[in-house]
Amino acid sequence: MKRAGVLLLGALPVIAAGVYLAVPDDSADGAATASASSSASSSAGARSARDDAKARAEQEREADDALVADLPPGLAAPAKKELAQQLVSSAENSTTKWRTAYGSIEDVGDGDGYTAGIVGFCTGTHDLLMLVERYTEDHPDNGLAQYLPALREVDGSDSHEGLDPGFTAAWRAEAEVPAFREAQEEERDRVYFEPAVRLAKLDGLGTLGQFVYYDAMVFHGPDTDAEGFYGLRERAMAKARTPGEGGSEKAYLETFLDVRKQAMEAKRPGIDTSRVDTAQRRFLAAGNMELATPLVWEMYGDTYRVS
């Protein structure tokens, strides 16, 4: 409607517009022109409001960036980031040697299609598609590019249509290419690691809390629905204050893990919640808020140690 009003006013000659605006209000033409003028004004006001909102958002982001830059590196420190990948890999690939998982690919029967790579990119959850699309932009002749039409078709489902029988072999072969390994790491950081760590720092969380956010982001996805990471965070914040809001870090993380476990069990009844119960809760109960090593945890009945 506002677009139509702007176009109507723009179509009038300047002199004619002046005449119409001078006609008394009870003139039909005057009413139409006044309506167009009002619409134009409303449109301009809406654009101004959007511009103001954008400017405020940019200013807030700049302020947040400055705040994060002044904080300790936390999970982003090289040794802690490596530890984070080992922890996630123990849950995703049953090994702390996460670099052995570039070529991993299988359908684990969870409704997300094929799960592949270092953080379990899935054909049904959009992240695998994004990875292959971005990789193909820089490397158009890669062995996965031919599957892009099929990946777009199966996105959001557990279907293998158009992928079988060759996609799994193509993935494993491409995983031998250093550029594709680098692409997996870049996509992991861009989609999961960096947003999770940044937001955790803004919420006042230390290294453990940053990992809690990161692992939840990987498992639940960076989504705003009730079962996505941002939805879980909103539910946790409705029950407990973050340290950034003056709350107890331990109490908030306990609440977040409660909410997360409920979401995991609601989505997949009977799921093994080791990554919460015998890893993150264990670190929290021990008061290991900085994820100091040596670290011992259990995942699906197996014990892992990092010294």
Catalytic residues: 92, 110
Q: Which residues pair with residue 305 across a beta bridge?
A: 296
Listed residue (49, 55, 186) closest to 117, CA to CA: 186
Task: Name the DSSP class of 273.
Answer: -
Is the bond into 165 cis (omega within 30 degrees of 0)? yes
Listed residue (174, 95, 89, 83) closest to 135, CA to CA: 174
User: Which residue has 């899935």 as its token pair?
Assistant: 122
Task: Name the DSSP class of 290.
Answer: T
Residue 141 to residues 19, 111, 146, Cα–Cα distance (Å): 63, 30, 9
Whether residue 166 contacts residue 189, with contact meaning beta carbons closer than 8 Å, is answered with no
For residue 159, give both structure tokens: 């279907």
Listed residue (86, 87, 76, 77) closest to 283, CA to CA: 87
Whether residue 114 contacts residue 170, with contact meaning beta carbons closer than 8 Å, is answered with no
Whether residue 131 contacts residue 121, with contact meaning beta carbons closer than 8 Å, is answered with yes
Q: Please write down the HEC assignment for all residues of 89-113.
A: HHHHCCCCCHHHHCCCEEECCCCCC
User: Which residue has 């799960």 as its token pair?
Assistant: 115
For residues 87 and 104, what is the distance between their CA atoms, to the nearest angstrom? 17
Q: Which residues pair with residue 298 across a beta bridge?
A: 303
Size (the chain), residues: 307
